[in-house]
Structures are given as structure tokens and as C-alpha cells.
Amino acid sequence: MSNQQLQQRKAAATPRGVGVMCGFYAERAKNAELWDVEGNRYIDFAGGIGVLNTGHLHDKVQAAVAEQLNKFSHTCYQVVPYELYVEVAEQLNALTPGDYAKKTAFFSTGAEAVENAIKVARAATGRSGVIAFGGGFHGRTMMGMALTGKVAPYKIGFGPFPADIYHGLYPNALHGVSIADSLTSLERLFKYDIEPSRVAAIIFEPVQGEGGFVPAPTEWVKALRALCDQHGILLIADEVQAGFARTGKLFAMEHFGVAPDLMTLAKSLAGGFPLAALVGKAELMDAPAPGGLGGTYAGSPLALAAAKAVISVIQEEKLLERANRLGEELKEKLHGLKQAVPQIAEVRGLGAMIAVEFNKPGSHEPDAEFTKKVQQKALESGLILLTCGTYANVVRFLFPLTIEDSVFQEALAKLDAALRA
Ligand SMILES: Cc1ncc(COP(=O)(O)O)c(C=O)c1O
């Protein structure tokens, strides 16, 4: 079946709301490479949107899932439990930042982890208000959409959303939002909209993902922590995209020297299998009554087997160091292109969570058109790139940290050509 035939079947059988970037169909993939149904090869710098820090079908992940598949694929943990759930929870409790007793619950998607973070925060505090940030993305469920700070395309036509959700400004120097501006926006919410004693949680991304790969300034994260402590508000770090070695640390929060009360994880946690986790202070996690948390597929044994393998691969293959090294190399490449590509407004990121933002030359005007062209040119040459950002003028890089050096160099050459074209 050709790509074109599949495109026709897709148009007839599936809704346009499930927007699809590529016009070709995956046949197989390994590490950082992917082949379509016509045998064309691509280098995958999207990683299924940040899911493949350990690459497509890492041998150890594949073997762990195959082994589990020979035992059982599903019991529903809430009916008949299994050791893997407890074991990976123990690992995450030990690995995540925060010098306090923790507990972990598993789910299937990032949005579900976010939903449950809010449920736990509300149950633990007896308060309802939640503050999120402009430019943030937290998923496509009702609460996920309510928390998300980007209207198009995520919220259009889907309201009304759950009540008592407010948005502050996320600091972004390039867009003229200082740390002080952000903190003032929170003070204003407390003046205009909701008293702090009714706020259950502040949820933020340590590095905004969909919003443009914008790292939070350390001073701001510390100020958020202090504000939460002052008012008895819980701090939730949404690490769904930034977590699991992407930023050169296992968790992005490790860059800031303060710990959140609750943390959401998903994506690269399970190397391509659907798994999400909510990790938090034990007493908070125990606030909901038995039966209040869970889900039929929540904590799939196959995905947990994958997660256990991912954790050991990150350690064995020293992927934190590799994230930093590859990230530096990519940054150097992009900095070196500034002269030839005047649209480059900023190169930024932590570890391998790198982005390049484009403005019209000599102005502060976002250049979404140029960004799209770079993405298209790269794709034509066999390199899959993702865009992001409130103004769709950012290219983000989500290559596997396990990518072979030769494939990485090949991709940098394709990127160079796409940017100069
Ligand atoms: C920070 C963040 N939170 C939540 C989500 C939602 O995750 P999922 O798409 O698995 O529901 C995403 C997805 O991109 C994300 O980047």
C-alpha cells in the first residue's frame, strides 16, 4: 500500500481534528531512524513528541516487554496487583527530587497524570483553585485543556472548562516577560480573582514544551516555591515533556535546587509504551480515598517493564552525560549559523532539550512561515523536526539520546542545509 493510497483512506476514515504532520506512513523504526511503507528512510528528531529518549525499540526495552508479554499483559492492577508496579514506584520515589517520603501512582497518558495531580491537590488541601501559566500545555482532557495556556488549536470550540483555573505569566525574556512581571501577575490574581487560601496548587512546566522549550529561570522557580510555602499552596511540576534525562538531568527540577510537592511524568518514562506517573509527598498522595485513583489500564505491566528497562538504560549508557554533550554540539551548530540565517532570534535549552526561535530579520516579529519552511525542507531531506511555541516560530529537537554519532552528524548536516535553503 503506497503513502498516497493510505492518505486517501485516512481522509475518509479518520477526523481532521487528529492533525497529522507527515504525509507518509511508518513501517518500522530503530533507534533514531524510521522507514515508511515505501522504504524511504528518515532521521527522527521528533521521537514521537519526546517519548523516545532511549530511541525506537531499544534492545533492552524490547526484551523486557517481550519477557513480560510471556507472563501476562493485563490484570488491572486494582484487581490483581503485580510486583512491577510496586518496584517502579519504589524506583521513582527514590530517584525524584525531594528529601521526603514519597508515593507514586501510575496512569497511561500525560493528561491523566495531570488530571490526577489536581485531584490529589484538591483532596489534600480541601481547596479548589489552580493556577497555571500562559503558554503552558497540560493535555487534551477537560482539565488538561483548562490548564493549558494556548487557545488555538487546543481549546477552540471545547469549552466551558472546569472552573477555578487561572493563568499567570510565564517568564520569557525574549518575549518581554521578566521574572518580576510573572510574580506580579500572580499577585494580581490574588487581588482580582482568588484569595491564596483557596488555591490548591500552582502547576508549571520546568521547561515549557509546546510553549517553545522555554526553561524556567531558577530564581523564579525558587520564588514559586516560597510563594506556595507562604500560602499553603502545593507546587506541581509537570515534567511530562522535560523529564527522563532530556535536560541532562533525570528530572528537570534538579536544575533548580528546590523540590515540588507533586510531579507528573510520562512520555520518555517508558520508551514508547503508554505510561504516566504521579509522584508526590506520601501524605498528599494518600489524601484520596481508596478507589479515587486508578484506571483500567493505569500502570500496564508491559509499559512498566519498559520503564524499568529505560531507567537502567539511562544509567548504563550514561545518557545524562550524552544529553549534555549532544545538546552542546547542537547549540554550537545553531550559534554558528546565526550569521547566515538572520531569522535566528534565540538558541536555548537545557541539556538536549534545545530549541531555536525565529523572528523576521531585524525585528521582534515571530516568523512562523520561515519556521514551517525549515521544517518542510528538513522533511524533504529525510529529517523529521517538530515546531512549537505560542507563535509557532520555534523548532524543537527531540532526538533519541542513544542516537549513533554518525546519524547525529548526518542530521546536523541536513539541518544546516534546511536552515540555509
Ligand atoms: C508538559 C506536558 N504535560 C502534559 C502533556 C499531555 O500528555 P499526553 O499527550 O500524554 O496526554 C504533554 C504532552 O505533550 C506535555 O508536554
Query: Distance, CA 144 to ligand 1 centroid (Å)?
Result: 9
Which of ligand 1's atoms lies nearest the C-alpha of 112? Answer: 11
List, chain by chain if needed, residues with CB within 6 Å of any ligand 1 atom.
49, 109-111, 114, 137-139, 205, 209-210, 238, 240-241, 266
The whole-angstrom separation of Cα 179 and Cα 397 is: 26
The whole-angstrom separation of Cα 382 and Cα 355 is: 19
Per-domain residue ranges of the chain: 3-57+318-420, 62-316
> pTM, whole model, 2 decimals?
0.98
Tell how many helices (H) and how many strands (E) occur in the chain.
Answer: 13, 17
Half-sphere exposure in the Cβ direction for 164 (13 Å, CA): 13
| Superfamily name and number for 3-57+318-420 | Aspartate Aminotransferase, domain 1 (3.90.1150.10)
Task: Just give the CATH number of 62-316.
Answer: 3.40.640.10
Q: Whose CA is nearest to atom 16 of ligand 1?
A: 241
| DSSP reduced 3-state for 269 | helix
Ordered per-residue pLDDT tens for the chain, 421 residues: 999 999 999 999 999 999 999 999 999 999 999 999 999 999 999 999 999 999 999 999 999 999 999 999 999 999 999 999 999 999 999 999 999 999 999 999 999 999 999 999 999 999 999 999 999 999 999 999 999 999 999 999 999 999 999 999 999 999 999 999 999 999 999 999 999 999 999 999 999 999 999 999 999 999 999 999 999 999 999 999 999 999 999 999 999 999 999 999 999 999 999 999 999 999 999 999 999 999 999 999 999 999 999 999 999 999 999 999 999 999 999 999 999 999 999 999 999 999 999 999 999 999 999 999 999 999 999 999 999 999 999 999 999 999 999 999 999 999 999 999 9
How far from 95 is each of 84, 104, 246, CA to CA, in Å? 16, 12, 15
Tell me which residue of 270, 362, 240 sits closest to 52, measured CA to CA: 270
Query: Distance, CA 111 to ligand 1 centroid (Å)?
Result: 6
Among 18, 21, 118, 138, the mutation site with the greatest number of ligand 1 atoms within 8 A of its Cβ is: 138
Among 241, 246, 251, 300, the mutation site with the greatest number of ligand 1 atoms within 8 A of its Cβ is: 241
Q: What is the DSSP string of 39-64?
A: --EEEESSHHHHT-TT-BT-HHHHHH
Look at strands 262-265 and 234-238 and give their pairing. parallel
Q: CA end-to-end span of the chain, whole Å?
A: 32
